[in-house]
């Protein structure tokens, strides 16, 4: 038996990519794929690449025995179902439903259950995005499992074969299956992707809307509640007014949209449904304006010491993210959320207490941020209350090299960068907070439950996938 890192194989593949593949190369490589000739659309095309049941796909990647079996993944603290495979959906498992309610159905059909494994999901998401960047010139990461890509350089009669090639390449290089929707606008691309995922066998997980006829058909066969940007409250409002399909919505006047669909955003939505792009490809976000770390507790917390430890731990994690982008924060905010109150007839959401402190000098030094955060937590804490969640947010972020030192402080207090760099490097290489501040605690009994978590196959040496 020998241990093999699956990540090494993927990285070796990606490292051998020299140039983005142009449309001609892609079409040649996929000569066997289905293609079509379509009348040119009005503008350059965009596409969205969406991983199919992403969390479930990540778990299946290292469990080939589950490839055709039902799988579900649970939320923080194993509370709700946040990802389900097509097989689990067919058995009637509901998305976002409580796990304890679905447990009898899950046991009846022998459905595999996993706790969220964010280390694994984050790493595989990065690989999917890097693969896309190697194939196309511009990629806009939209979420952990979705990305918009620019296909304006691809001839219209090669859009289908190009999308097929991208899908097959991502699946071959990363092991994650994806669906792709192609259209002149982002909203139509999301709609095309929805159609592709509705019947994966017929569409081969790819749908292209490149002509007015295809656009008309897609709009008329899609209910308004499945349009990107229409939430359940807007959908209910629209359906009550007789606007039941995307086609009905696209024919509404822009003045009406401005009045009833959120102003400028509503107008932009109507235009996008009619093929006029209002949401262009965004440049990659290199620095964040705000950094937050929030977690649910593994069990209800009632003691101040547990709150202190949690806030110190979250602050340490936020500070690491802050230093990663070479920033310093001048404002730190803390919030605590109490448990919901059930008064038999009414169910009230838990109250949130929050506060913030403006620091005299922007900093990225963990101990300075912890001191300010714990001070706020002590002020917010109320004896006798039961807490279920806490969080820390850093804002007013400026470049670290623009912060002036304190003339009246000793040099050792002005420059903690070397110490922070050492801590970050050790923790990055050894993982699991090998070096941590004492205020973060040692037992951390309040940490969220992950009783069914799989191994972190690609980010921990001791948990590498084993091949026998």
Q: Which domains does the chain have, with CATH numbers?
A: 1-221+455-468 (3.30.70.270), 224-273 (no CATH), 291-436 (3.30.1490.100)
pLDDT recorded at residue 172: 96
pLDDT for 346 beyond 80: no
- Bridge partners (DSSP) of residue 331 are 358, 395
Whether the CB-CB separation of 298 and 446 falls below 8 Å is answered with yes
C-alpha distances in Å from residue 442, one per residue of 311, 428, 434, 439, 447 = 14, 19, 11, 9, 11
Place of tokens 């990285």: 11
The pLDDT tens digits for 153-169 are 999 999 999 999 999 99
Answer with the residue of higher pLDDT: 309 or 416.
Answer: 309
For residues 42 and 36, which has the higher predicted lDDT (pLDDT)? 42
- The confidence band for 300, taking pLDDT boundaries of 50, 70 and 90, is confident
Task: Write out the two tokens for 306.
Answer: 């547990």
Q: Hunting for tokens 């509901």 — which residue is that? A: 94
Q: Helix or strand or coil: residue 386?
A: coil
Closest CA relative to residue 169, chosen from 9, 21, 4, 19: 21
- Cα(457)–Cα(123) distance, integer angstroms: 10
Q: Which residues contact 327 (CB under 8 A, 6 or more apart)?
A: 287, 291, 364, 397, 398, 399, 400
* Interval 279-296: pLDDT, tens: 788 777 667 889 999 988
Quote the distance between the C-alpha of residue 72 and its chain's center. 17
How confident is the model at residue 33, as a pLDDT?
35
User: What is the crossing angle of helices 186-198 and 212-220, to 10°?
Assistant: 60
Average pLDDT of 4-18?
40
Within 10 Å of residue 253's Cβ, how many Cβ atoms? Answer: 10
């Amino acid at each position: 038996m020998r241990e093999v890192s699956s990540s090494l194989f993927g990285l070796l593949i990606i490292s051998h990519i020299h140039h983005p593949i142009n449309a001609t190369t892609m079409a040649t490589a996929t000569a066997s794929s289905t293609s079509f000739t379509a009348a040119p659309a009005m503008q350059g095309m965009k596409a969205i690449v969406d991983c199919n049941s992403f969390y479930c796909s990540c778990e299946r990647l290292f469990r080939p025995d589950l490839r055709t079996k039902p799988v579900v993944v649970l939320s923080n603290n194993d509370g709700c179902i946040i990802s389900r495979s097509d097989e689990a959906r067919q058995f009637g498992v509901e998305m976002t439903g409580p796990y304890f309610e679905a447990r009898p159905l899950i046991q009846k059909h022998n459905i595999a259950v996993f706790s969220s494994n964010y280390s694994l999901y984050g790493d595989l998401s990065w690989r999917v995005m890097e693969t896309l960047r190697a194939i196309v010139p511009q990629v806009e990461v939209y979420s952990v499992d979705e990305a918009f890509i620019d296909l304006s350089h691809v001839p219209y009669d090669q859009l289908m074969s190009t999308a097929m090639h991208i899908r097959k390449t991502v699946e071959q290089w990363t092991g994650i299956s994806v669906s792709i929707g192609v259209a002149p606008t982002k909203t139509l691309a999301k709609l095309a992707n929805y159609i592709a995922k509705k019947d994966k066998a017929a569409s081969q997980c790819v749908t292209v809307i490149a002509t007015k006829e295809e656009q008309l058909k897609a709009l008329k066969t899609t209910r308004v509640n499945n349009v990107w940007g229409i939430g359940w409250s807007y959908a209910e409002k629209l359906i009550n007014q007789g606007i039941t399909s995307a086609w009905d919505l696209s024919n509404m006047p822009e003045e009406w949209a401005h009045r009833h669909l959120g102003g400028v955003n509503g107008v932009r939505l109507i235009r996008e449904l009619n093929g006029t792009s209002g949401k262009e490809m965004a440049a990659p976000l290199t620095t964040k304006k705000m950094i937050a770390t929030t977690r649910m507790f593994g069990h209800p917390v009632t003691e101040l010491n547990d709150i202190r430890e949690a806030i110190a731990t979250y602050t340490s994690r936020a500070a690491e993210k802050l230093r990663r982008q070479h920033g310093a924060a001048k404002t730190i905010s803390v919030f605590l959320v109490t448990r919901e109150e059930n008064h038999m007839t009414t169910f009230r959401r838990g109250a949130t207490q929050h506060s913030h402190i403006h620091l005299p000098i922007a900093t990225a030094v963990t101990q300075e941020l912890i001191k300010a955060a714990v001070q706020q937590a002590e002020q917010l804490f109320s004896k006798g209350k039961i807490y279920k969640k806490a969080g820390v947010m850093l804002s007013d972020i400026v470049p670290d090299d623009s912060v002036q030192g304190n003339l009246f402080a000793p040099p050792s207090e002005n420059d903690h960068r070397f110490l922070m760099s050492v801590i970050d490097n050790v923790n990055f290489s050894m993982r699991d907070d090998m070096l941590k501040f004492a205020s973060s605690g040692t037992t951390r009994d309040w940490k969220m439950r992950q009783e069914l978590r799989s191994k972190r196959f690609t980010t921990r040496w001791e948990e590498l996938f084993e091949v026998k």
